[in-house]
Amino acid sequence: MRGLLLLISGLCISTCFGQQLPQYTQWSWHQFASNPAHAGIKQCIDIHTLYRLQWVGFEGAPKSGFATVAIPLSAKRRSYLSARHGMGFRFETDEIGHFSTQRFNVAYAGHFNFNKTDRLSLGIYAGFVQMGYDPDGVLTTAPDPSVQDQGSIFAPDASFGAWYNTENYYVGLTLQNLIPSRWSSIGADARYRFHSILNAGYRLKVNDRVTLLPGVQLKIPPKGPSAVDVALQTDFNNTIGIGAGYRTGDALLLFFQLKLKERFSIGYSFDYTLTPIQLGAKNTHEVSLRFTSCKKRNVSAGSCPLFE
């Protein structure tokens, strides 16, 4: 039992300073993956998928990914202050060493417009999370049943999200792991702990073809230092996006996104690791795909891609 707890603690600390949730470099392109307030925020079906391969070549390194579907329930609004509604689904998987975690959530959100461009959205995720441990390949100097036994934990899961945007900026807040379920088979103090994420971004139109999109995200884990992502993206003609960023104490970030046939887009990001892990592993890669049923609107090429 003690050996299993030490192994979990070591893996969590080495990957994300005690954070129990996967992190994504392309967070600004996939807001619904973390914030349930984005359920049905657009007046069309929106499908996103992403796969993250972290620290390539490092044994037991994290492998994460998700698939989300957001659906509007009431697309038309009688007046600005009357609410629209949306729902969605999220499946997320995360593997670290001999541990694997799967989450499935259903989301509901309400969207309230104060005028044509200013909007407040509130949403909630509800579902379950399962964490499993596979001892295959684990070696100990002395027999330890707590390490050699296969295990699984099943628990409820919930998150709350808030989102506010105008034509030129947004602010988002997510409160995750709202149900502090215990890991009874691991230790008395082992449990899912509360996390929070705060992000914001701004749209700066250079001309009708070029838009600058600076953004920042603050991740606050229950223990250990907070992590900050700072990025600057450039959108060309609402078709090609490129950018660069920095994650404190971790990596330099590069982004690329290409929109295909109006409704499809593909994204790629690269993390250049700055920590000593770089000595034993290569860097981090993310690939994402997106489909939207939204019809192309007659808008300028400089429109913010977050809301189109």
Q: Please report, for the chain, the start and end positions of each structural domain, with discontinuous segments joined by +.
A: 2-292
pLDDT per position as a tens digit, 190-209 = 667 788 999 999 999 999 89
Domain range 2-292, its CATH number among 3.20.20.220, 2.40.160.40, 2.70.150.10, 2.40.30.20: 2.40.160.40
Euclidean distance between CA atoms 12 and 180, whole angstroms: 17
Residue type, 168: N
pLDDT per position as a tens digit, 253-303 = 999 999 998 789 999 999 999 988 888 788 999 999 999 988 765 444 444
Please give the model's pTM, rounded to 2 decimal places. Answer: 0.84
- Predicted confidence at residue 261, as pLDDT, reads 81
Confidence band of 3 (pLDDT split at 50, 70, 90): very low
- Predicted confidence at residue 235, as pLDDT, reads 94
Dihedral sign computed on CA atoms, order 256, 308, 161, 199:
positive
| Helix extents (H) in 118-170 | 145-148
